[in-house]
Amino acid sequence: MTDPDVRAEIMTATYEALCEHGYTELTAQDIADKTDKSKSLLFYHYDSKEDLIVDFLDYLLEMVDERITEFQSADPVERLALFVDWYLYGADDGDLQSFHTAMLELRTQAPHNDRYREQLRRSDERLRVALERILEDGIATEAFVDHDPERTAALLIAAIDGARIRQLTLEREAYLDEVRAALVARIFDELLAESADFPVETESPSEIDSDSNAEATGDDP
């Protein structure tokens, strides 16, 4: 795939088709129907549905990198809160529940598909390392007490992954809020230095950037 605009269009179409049909029932025609391209033209760019999904997973990984970069302007405590809420709840998107369900279906293919498994491993590694760096920065700035960032990151990723899977499979809308509250009470309160507080709610990265710019120029937020 050499044309980024064409790729972006196909990736958007893949997202929309996954939301509508799920992974198991997804066909190349479903994706083509979300674009102005024919199924045959779609296969001009991808040899198979598997190739397209592998590229889609890579595209999602690029989006993860962009999102993590957006958090960098915040202090470590705020970055941790932003990371947790983004990973736990996702974006404010009406199709998010359907998309997460489709991704859960796709994950079940990973034990039988080396290419899917490798992409999912890369995603897991990227998220875990990003979380470790937030925790390390918090220790360095004395916002967090000294602890093992690698183990803490592994625990948090497992807890959030488990919460999302249970929420999807059991359709318990309040479950994510309950897990966030438990994380704050049982884990984050233990991590924070006495002078730090974990946010009850988080702002979007764009709001944080705006606040930072306002402070830098002496203007009110």
- Residues 136-158: pLDDT tens digits? 999 999 999 999 999 999 999 99
The domain boundary residue, chosen from 60, 92, 109: 60
Burial readout 42-63 (b: 16 or more C-beta within 10 A, e: otherwise):
beebbeebeebbbbbbebbbee
Domain range enclosing 200: 69-221
What region does 48 belong to: left with phi over 0, alpha with psi -120 to 50, or beta?
beta
Query: Residue written as tokens 């064409």?
Result: 6
Angle between helices 114-140 and 49-70 in degrees, nearest 10: 10
Q: How many domains does the chain have?
A: 2
pLDDT of residue 148: 96
Q: How far apart are CA 134 and CA 98, in angstroms?
A: 30
One domain for residues 149 and 99: yes
Q: Are residues 18 and 117 in the same domain?
A: no
Same domain, 3 and 50: yes
In this structure, are residues 87 and 7 in contact, taking their beta carbons and an 8 Å threshold? no
Picking from 16, 37, 60, the residue at the C-terminal end of a domain is: 60
Does 198 lie in the same domain as 142? yes
Least confident of 2-11, 64-73, 74-83, 88-97: 88-97
CATH number for the domain including 209? 1.10.357.10
Residues 124 and 182 grouped into a single domain: yes
Q: Which residue has the tokens 């960098």?
A: 72
